Structure 1
Amino acid sequence: MTVTETEPDPTPEPEPAGDPYADALRAVHAELAEGNARAAARERVIERLHEENQLLKAGERQSLLRPVVTDLYRLRDDLLKQAAELPADFGAERAAALLESYGQTVELALERAGVLPVRPDVGDRFDAGAHRASGVVPAATPEADATVAGIVRDGYRDTVTDRVLAPATVLVARWTPAPEAA
């Protein structure tokens, strides 16, 4: 809401001297003009503070992201350098090792940002809060029912809030008893 200043009429009509209503009206008019001026000054201060707040937020966001951005551009540079220097006899085994090393570099960047990868173990109980089922496989025993049978993708947890940011994607074991012979 913007308050607009109103200028008093520069040529007020002369009022008869000693008229108490006219004096009271002039006093009210003066108070209103003074109140409008104060409100306009407050609006200018609020707008200035809002602009400063937006600048501070942008700077804070940049400060928070700086380590992650630094890690990402270093990773990009490493990837491009490695791609340019790959030998002709570069095999699948070496490619897997190289990609795994880059995965570890990204993991370190995530840790610096307060995020940890979470990999459940096969045999852990399925937890809907920490896991996302991507499929069901037959369980070998009744005890294996509703357990993690395989890991499709790691999950991620915020180290500050201890909240799951992304659940681990898993295969879930489901026990189905054999039908009884009749």
Structure 2
Amino acid sequence: MSDVNEYVVRAVRGDEWAAVKELRLLALRDPVAHLAYLDTYEAAVARPDSFWRERAEGADTVRQFVAETGAGRWIGTLTVLVEEAGVPDWAGHVVERRQGHVVGVYVRPEGRGAGVIRALLAAGQEWAWGLEPEVERVRLIVHEENLRAQAAYRKAGYRPTGVTVKLEGHEGAYEQEFVIPRPR
């Protein structure tokens, strides 16, 4: 196995859909997947290959990034979606400003603590800051009990806003919004 301290972060290419699927399925089997994702392994594995092709191809307002070792092994990923002001978000709340939204964050256990998450977040932010029209901030939503993720996001400069979202179907569970503003 390659040294996880030697990796590059880059955007996913459309022809890499099978690797996108493989890493997502691995993420959904992580012990904290129930805290980190609104998706399940069972639902994801049942999706047709066309779903994964479309996901890898992305769009002008979606970009997935991976951290890749010199041996070509993907050790982490995240996706940034652009949310437009005035449009409902995933939870049905109206988005107040044009913003990036980080989703699908995953780092393999052997890559954790090596700076992979910060590098992925930086790449996603750089892409978002370069969009026209500008995004005002980048946000992510994290489960209130996912303390490991919250600590990683804080180390990367994200701060909680105090906004919480109740999770449907999860009695008493909430997600918290963290943001990083656009640098000026």
| TM norm structure 2 | 0.21
Higher relative contact order (CA 8 A, sep 6+): 2
| TM norm structure 1 | 0.21
* Higher Rg: 1
Between structures 1 and 2, the one with greater helix share: 1
Between structures 1 and 2, the one with greater strand share: 2
